[in-house]
Chain A
Amino acid sequence: MTWELFAVFVGSSLRLAVPLLLAGTGELVSERAGVLNMSIEGMMLTGAFAAAVGAWATGSPVLGLLICVVAVFPVALLQAVLSNTLRANQIVTGIGINILVLGGTTLAYREIFGARSREQIPGLEKWSPPLLGDIPVFGQAVFQQVWLLYAGLAIIALTALVLRYSSIGIVIHAAGAEPRAVDKSGISVTWVRYLGVLFAGFMSALAGAFLSIGDIHTFTEGMTRGAGYLAIAAVIFGKWTLSGTVLACLLFGAATALQFQLPTLGVDVPNALLIMLPYLLALLAVGGLAGRQTAPRALGEPYLRR
């Protein structure tokens, strides 16, 4: 492999990992707070769709991004209400929302775009950081990326700081591990969990927007193709730590990038096997490569004050 190809591989791994990184970080916060949020798949799909429609209708990808965040909010709120206030089974609600969104976006896509399905949708601009972008070979291939990638990485870094060093981080952690203690300290478990789910919604919205207007500048039906579930697998693989989740997402991103890279190297591997690879890796990851699992103790259990 030449350096040029390697640089392209690193660049595309990073690009393909971004939706997982964003959604995975959101899911991590939600799960730390105690809500297993299966609906990030649906939230990402809503985000991808709303961003595409918004960018196409207004002609401005930035407005599209804004519309996307606004559009995902009700979906996240629905999940939050169902899993906290109505104490519904979180897995069932998540799957219900995902089916609903897949149907809804497909329906709306056909209605809005119909025959115009090949129309170009304006996408987010690329940006390369000053010094890094000037590195020979790597500068262009790795660091010349959509600005949302850098914004996303900044948000993830900020999330890491908040989780690690602030009282907010402690409260989120406690809401998932010892909800009763949070309740006794006078903080509402329900509110903490609402915020966790809404944050996951916000991050999934960005992830969806990155897919449609950041990466390929179009929307296709069901375009998330299980990326949300991969993000959840990444959280498990990362043992519910942010650094672990990030590494897992990067690994899945690299596995996805392989399917475009190996054929150019003349390696003859069945295409299907390559497409399958991230899911296979994720299965191995959640199936014990990561060792015994240490989920937040109250994960998936609605909190009921007695």
Chain B
Amino acid sequence: MTDAAVRASMTKSRRRMLRPSIVISVAAVLAAALVGLVLIFALGVSVSEAIAAFIDGTLGTPYAIAASVNRSIAFALVGIGFVIANRANLVNVGGEGQIAVGGIAATAVALYGHVDGLPAALSFVIPLLAAVLAGMLWGSIAGILKIKAGTNEVISTLLLSFIAVWLLYWCVQSPQLLRKPMTSSATLPESLEIPEAAKLPLLTGDYSFPVHIGLPVTIVIAIVAGIVLVKTVFGLQLRAVGFNPVAAGRAGISYARMVMVSLATAGALGGLAGGFMLLGEQYVLKDGFSSGYGFDGLVAGLLARGSVVGVIAAALLFGFLRSGGINMEMVAGVPTALVMVIQGLIVVTLAGAAFFMGRRA
């Protein structure tokens, strides 16, 4: 088959699968949300009170909306990375670790890289680049292991996440690393606040609606990723490797190169997410700052079934779900673990539902 014919048949099969997959994704989300409501009821919390707290936490104030959007940015970046790697039939489960190393690198460079005096934008662009590089490195390790030793990337990215999380703990615990100078024994195990110049500019410049410039950057990345995956030779090559590495190899597509590029890109996007979180919202590196973000991004990627638009939708959903969940815990006393239950249900339902969509074995 020629390139064009392959592409045409792929588009056809995609078109045939698109609608039921959207329907099933939406149905899975709704069913899981329903279970969530039942659980809230079972916990003995007033459902209306919980819902009110949820809405207040997501859409109640401009601040709440902005916080949810910022969260979604991180999920979207990790999710897009997941989708890119998944095109090559790779499963990157290491978002958590990639965010963590991104955050560490961004903090280190922002605090000790003398970025203060640099001209305007450079003082936050350079720490961001450091975050991207760190994430890329973390993702590449999994790529190298995959090529050189045939190591399953699921296991390696998971283990790398654990390592990164403890690396983060080490960085904020040790005064030789990033912990702020200990003035008394009560000094918290966290870094100094990053300098003003390294903080990401806010879109409105107003702290009551603190959406940072990560939003437009993420939108651009999403558009580029969408175009690259669907319209370019590279996107086709990725998919070819994902379908059949041997056949792709015969067609002159290097498996090793595709594995490296896709895992490094996924890692870079995770690192960028970590950089955004640090420079755009948190400003101080703390233990566990990445906790849960990697998995949320991963689930957003899974839910999207390969579509970048789907990732954005799922990331927004989870961003708001998380914010609402946190407010539900504070106001109505519903543990945020409920959100995890809902997410787990969505993933399990979708995995099982694939059977009924007549997918390729």
Residues of A bordering B, CB below 8 Å: 38, 78, 81-82, 86-89, 91-93, 95-104, 106-107, 110-111, 221, 226, 229, 232-233, 236, 270-273, 275-276, 279-280, 282-283, 286-288, 292-293, 302, 304
Contacts and interface: CB of A to CB of B under 8 A. Distances in A.
A279 B148 contact: no
A254 B350 CA distance: 39
B149 A287 contact: yes
Given A233-B155, A288-B149, A293-B151, A280 B163 contact: yes
A276 B167 CA distance: 8
A107 B341 contact: yes
A86 B158 contact: no
B162 interface: yes
A286 B345 CA distance: 30
Q: Sorted from nearest, which 8 A-B pairs have the closest CB atoms?
A: A100-B344, A103-B340, A96-B347, A272-B170, A288-B149, A106-B337, A103-B341, A99-B344
Contact of A272 (B173, B347, B350): B173
Nearest to A230: B159
Given A93-B348, A272-B166, A99 B343 contact: yes
A275 B335 contact: no
A88 B158 contact: no
B91 to A, nearest CB: 5
A270 B351 contact: no
Greatest chain B CB density within 10 A among A99, A103, A221, A233 is at: A99
A46 B274 CA distance: 31
A272 B173 CA distance: 9
Nearest to A221: B337
Contacts of B43: 107, 111
B338 A103 contact: yes
Contacts of A92: 91, 302, 347, 350-351
B299 interface: yes
A177 B290 CA distance: 40
B127 to A, nearest CB: 23
Interface of B: 39, 43, 91, 93, 145, 148-152, 154-156, 158-160, 162-163, 166-167, 169-170, 173-174, 295, 298-299, 302, 335, 337-348, 350-352, 354-355, 361
A279 B159 contact: yes
Contacts of A273: 166, 170
Nearest to A81: B352
A234 to B, nearest CB: 11
B21 to A, nearest CB: 14
A229 B299 CA distance: 19
Nearest to A86: B355
* B interface, over-half SS: helix
A77 to B, nearest CB: 13
B168 to A, nearest CB: 9
Contact of B150 (A102, A106, A292): A292
Contacts of B337: 102-104, 106-107, 110, 221
B348 A286 contact: no
Given A97-B348, A100-B341, A100-B344, A89 B354 contact: yes
A78 B348 contact: yes
A100 B160 contact: no
Given A82-B348, A89-B351, A286 B159 contact: yes
Contacts of A292: 149-150
A283 B153 CA distance: 11
Nearest to A100: B344
Nearest to A93: B351
Contacts of B173: 270-272
A102 B340 contact: yes
A107 B355 contact: no
Contacts of A98: 344
30 contacts: A82-B351, A82-B352, A86-B352, A87-B355, A89-B351, A89-B354, A91-B93, A92-B347, A95-B93, A96-B350, A100-B341, A100-B343, A100-B348, A104-B344, A106-B335, A221-B337, A229-B162, A236-B152, A272-B170, A275-B166, A279-B159, A279-B163, A286-B152, A286-B155, A287-B149, A287-B151, A288-B145, A288-B148, A292-B149, A302-B361
Given A103-B340, A275-B166, A96 B351 contact: yes
Contacts of A100: 340-341, 343-345, 347-348
Greatest chain A CB density within 10 A among B156, B170, B338, B348 is at: B348
Contacts of A106: 335, 337, 340
Contact of B162 (A95, A226, A236, A286): A226
B183 to A, nearest CB: 21
Contacts of A233: 155, 159
Contacts of B341: 100, 103-104, 107
A6 to B, nearest CB: 26
Contacts of B340: 99-100, 102-104, 106
B335 A286 contact: no
B242 to A, nearest CB: 13
Contact of A93 (B298, B342, B352): B352
A102 B302 CA distance: 18
A270 B347 contact: no
A233 B154 CA distance: 11
A283 B163 contact: yes
